[in-house]
């Protein structure tokens, strides 16, 4: 939930939830003020000018109190009335219902592109839409609940979004009982900025100089994200998949190309020490690091770039007369086309023939750019998926999942991946030895003191205050209980700062609570606990189970009701792994502590482990590395991209089993003989 308002502020006349607080937010703010009076503002993201504007409006009495940033973007992930997964599922299905229409629009404007490109672009529109309309629906729920607490009539609750018109065009109205209303903020669906940015990119591509590549051998590119730490120094790193015996370091390019990751000289220095070429794709980073290799652009022919410029202008003018669906579709299509065209020129210059990145940024420019360059993006699953959701709609031509549970969710989410393979869990390749030792020492100390049960708890990006409160109360009241916390990011720090009405301090005084650093693996905590508790996401508890831990999953939202076929843990039956509320789980654990024979299978998920990872050998990275080496081998012997991929997929099936290839296996002769 958002931060609380100052108690000295006067009661609001209306509530306004804004997705992105900018100068343009003035118009809906003033409109509501004109009709209802002073407005209380809550927002997700903001521009500095927008925040200053809102503060000025507060001074003159239009805005009620300070605008409040929403710290928890969940509808209550740890409570029975949570709707996060439900909204995500409904939004995906609603957007996918328009796929045929989007494909027709794509074919109309990009008929000259090969089918693979058109399919990828159309699905990119769908995944972009799911992002666009998800947050307004979250805000509608949050606004309605806040209004009920404050006693404000539902007709005085408003949500402002640039994607309001898209939500209405998609006919999204999941919860008719919610009285909050959706208002439009300029610009509609960001279509105009997208068109203008595409035109700018086409100008940039036209007038920027083109350089031919001097790199003759095919390269494997991978994005800078987590860093290049050793196996025992962090949870995961950018080279978890690399084995030098398969792919020489001089065939790799470490690419600083992600807008959400800042350039790091340390990362570049480590890459260089490994014989890997670090490359900048941002001129801003180059200005600060003049000695670094800067990727230049190797453009397609000049006349093609001229055609692109006229095409981007033409499609913009035509779109002025389109309806909301057509306008949003064409804006997203032309923007991703131009963005990927520019990115492809970098791939061409660096001679990158395969690119690895786990980013869920949408649309997926990386896969499209690789396709334009006759190369391929290779994706891999970092988090276990427990629900059909937009991030499961993968468009990468090659994708590695943990096991058949995840491939089922990916296919249910509409993934168009051509080569879908099972590698095993990539997170089991790493551990934090220091964190694991600290957890072990803590557990041994408690056992010597007579503690009979040690729990580990894994939170998520959404601070589970309700669960933390109940766990700490349990810890304080039961001297035979110990607790290890493996938090995500700064969540536990925020809980400690909050204090939960003194519960955190009292729990710490027991000496039976221990927190691991965020760099630790969930398994580092789980293998030193009797039971590991997770909620919202499968990832942490599944990773722990694969290491032999007993796991308990709090499914507050009951996602098994609409998505039963994807809920693997639920299939084990009641009172074993999945619990719908904290107290039913607590009761069963307490019974087990008194008499383990009362429920000997509690937390044991052995019967379904093969569905999550059929290998369970911690060698997922080896398999991915070997696949890439086979792909490179095919390219080096003159095979086309698709033939090299087919050959690599066949070799993967021959070595690891045909059942480990969900898509992409073709009965073809050996292309390398």
Q: What 3-state class would DSSP assign to 6?
A: coil
| Mean pLDDT, range 604-610, rounded to an integer | 97
Write down all domains in the chain, each with its CATH number in brackets. Answer: 14-186 (no CATH), 194-223+239-378 (no CATH), 381-425+619-673 (no CATH), 433-612 (3.40.50.2000)
Please give the residue that has the higher pLDDT: either 401 or 289. Answer: 401
Q: What tokens appear for 431 in the block?
A: 């551990």
Q: What tokens appear for 380 in the block?
A: 């891999």
Q: Tell me which residue has tokens 């998505």.
A: 563
Burial-class residue 291 by CB neighbours within 10 Å (0-12, 13-18, 19+).
exposed
What phi-psi label fits residue 89: left (phi over 0), alpha (psi between -120 and 50 degrees) or beta? alpha
Give the pairing of strands 419-422 and 661-663.
Answer: antiparallel
Tens digits of residue pLDDT in 53-64: 999 999 999 999
- What residue ranges in 415-469 does DSSP mark as E strands? 419-422, 453-458
Query: How far is the C-alpha of 389 from the C-alpha of 89, rounded, in Å?
Result: 5
Query: How far is the C-alpha of 354 from the C-alpha of 375, rounded, in Å?
Result: 6
Tens digits of residue pLDDT in 400-426: 999 999 999 999 999 999 999 999 999
Decide if pLDDT at 430 tops 80: no
Tens digits of residue pLDDT in 438-489: 999 999 999 999 999 999 999 988 889 999 999 999 999 999 999 999 998 8
Tens digits of residue pLDDT in 508-545: 999 999 999 887 889 899 999 999 999 988 999 999 99
Q: What tokens appear for 606 in the block?
A: 């052995």
Which value, to the nearest 10 degrees, does the dihedral of the CA atoms of residues 227, 228, 233, 237 take?
A: 70
Answer yes or no: are the C-beta atoms of 467 and 495 closer than 8 Å: no
Distance, first Cα to last Cα, the chain: 62
Per DSSP, 352 falls in state E
Which value, to the nearest 10 degrees, does the dihedral of the CA atoms of residues 312, 313, 319, 320 take?
A: 160
Distance of CA 252 to the CA centre of its chain: 25
Q: Tell me which residue has tokens 């072990």.
A: 440
Decide if pLDDT at 234 tops 50: no
Lowest-confidence segment of 149-153, 183-187, 357-361 by average pLDDT: 357-361
Answer yes or no: are the C-beta atoms of 386 and 567 closer than 8 Å: yes
Residue 235 confidence class, pLDDT cut points 50, 70, 90? low
Give the highest mean pLDDT range of 2-16, 286-300, 541-555.
541-555
Q: What 3-state class would DSSP assign to 483?
A: strand
pLDDT at 6: 53
| Mean pLDDT, range 174-183, rounded to an integer | 92
pLDDT over 70 for what percent of the chain? Answer: 94
Answer yes or no: are the C-beta atoms of 145 and 72 closer than 8 Å: no
Q: What tokens appear for 601 in the block?
A: 């299978």
pLDDT at 280: 86
Query: How far is the C-alpha of 193 from the C-alpha of 188, rounded, in Å?
Result: 10
- Who's near 407: CB < 8 A, 6+ residues apart? 401, 420, 422, 662
Residue 361 confidence class, pLDDT cut points 50, 70, 90? confident
- On average, the pLDDT of the chain sits at 90
Which value, to the nearest 10 degrees, does the dihedral of the CA atoms of residues 56, 58, 62, 64 take?
A: 160
CB atoms within 10 A of CB 34: 9
């Amino acid at each position: 939930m958002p931060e609380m308002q100052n108690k000295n502020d006067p009661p609001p006349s209306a509530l306004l939830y804004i997705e992105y607080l900018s100068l343009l937010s003035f118009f809906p703010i003033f409109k509501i003020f004109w009709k209802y009076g002073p407005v209380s503002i809550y927002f997700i993201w903001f521009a500095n000018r927008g925040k200053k504007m809102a503060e000025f409006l507060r001074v003159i009495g239009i805005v009620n109190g300070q605008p409040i940033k929403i710290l928890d973007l969940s509808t209550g992930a740890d409570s029975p009335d949570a709707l996060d997964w439900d909204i995500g599922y409904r939004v995906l299905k609603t957007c996918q219902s328009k796929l045929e229409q989007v494909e027709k629009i794509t074919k109309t404007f990009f008929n000259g592109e090969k089918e693979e490109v058109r399919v990828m672009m159309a699905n990119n529109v769908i995944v972009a839409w799911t992002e666009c309309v998800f947050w307004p629906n979250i805000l509608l729920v949050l606004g309605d609940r806040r209004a009920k607490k404050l006693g404000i009539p539902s007709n005085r609750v408003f949500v402002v979004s640039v994607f309001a018109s898209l939500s209405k065009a998609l006919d999204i109205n999941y919860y008719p009982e919610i009285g909050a209303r959706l208002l439009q903020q300029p610009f509609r669906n960001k279509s105009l900025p997208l068109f203008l940015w595409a035109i700018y990119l086409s100008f940039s591509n036209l007038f920027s100089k083109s350089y031919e590549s001097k790199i003759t051998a095919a390269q494997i590119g991978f994005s800078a994200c987590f860093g290049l730490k050793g196996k025992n120094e962090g949870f995961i790193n950018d080279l978890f998949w690399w084995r030098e015996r398969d792919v020489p370091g001089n065939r790799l390019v470490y690419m600083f190309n992600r807008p959400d990751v800042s350039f790091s000289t340390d990362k570049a220095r480590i890459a260089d020490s490994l014989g890997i070429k670090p490359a900048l794709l941002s001129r801003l980073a180059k200005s600060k690091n003049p000695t670094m290799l800067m990727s230049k652009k190797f453009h397609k022919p000049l006349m093609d770039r001229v055609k692109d410029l006229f095409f981007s202008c033409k499609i913009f003018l035509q779109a002025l007369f389109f309806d909301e669906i057509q306008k949003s579709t064409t804006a997203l299509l032309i923007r991703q086309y131009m963005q990927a065209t520019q990115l492809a020129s970098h791939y061409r210059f660096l001679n990158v023939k395969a690119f690895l990145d786990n980013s869920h940024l949408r649309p997926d420019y990386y896969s499209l750019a690789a396709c334009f360059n006759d190369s391929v993006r290779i994706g891999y699953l970092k988090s276990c998926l427990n629900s059909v959701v937009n991030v499961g709609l993968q468009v990468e031509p090659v994708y590695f999942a943990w096991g058949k549970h995840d491939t089922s969710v990916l296919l249910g989410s509409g993934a168009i991946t051509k080569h879908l393979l099972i590698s095993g869990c990539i997170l089991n390749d790493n551990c934090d030895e220091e964190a694991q030792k600290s957890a072990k020492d803590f557990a041994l100390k408690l056992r010597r003191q007579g503690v009979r049960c040690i729990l580990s708890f894994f939170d998520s990006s959404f601070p589970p205050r309700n669960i933390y409160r109940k766990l700490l109360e349990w810890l304080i009241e039961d001297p035979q209980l110990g607790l290890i916390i493996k938090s995500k990011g700064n969540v536990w720090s925020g809980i400690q700062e909050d204090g939960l009405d003194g519960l955190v301090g009292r729990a710490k005084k027991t000496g039976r609570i221990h927190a691991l650093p965020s760099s630790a693996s969930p398994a580092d905590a789980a293998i030193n606990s009797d039971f590991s508790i997770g909620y919202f996401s499968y990832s942490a508890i599944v990773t722990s189970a694969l290491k032999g831990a007993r796991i308990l999953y709090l499914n507050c939202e009951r996602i098994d009701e609409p998505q039963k076929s994807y809920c693997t843990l639920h299939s084990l039956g009641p009172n074993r792994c999945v619990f719908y509320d904290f107290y039913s789980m607590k009761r069963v654990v307490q019974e087990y502590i008194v008499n383990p024979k009362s429920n000997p299978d509690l937390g044991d998920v052995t019967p379904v482990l093969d569905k999550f990872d059929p290998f369970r050998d911690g060698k997922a990275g080896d398999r991915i590395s070997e696949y890439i080496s086979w792909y490179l081998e095919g390219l080096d012997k003159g095979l086309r991209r698709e033939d090299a991929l087919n050959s690599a997929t066949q070799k993967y099936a021959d070595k690891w089993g045909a059942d480990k290839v969900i898509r992409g296996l073709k009965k073809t002769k050996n292309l390398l003989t």
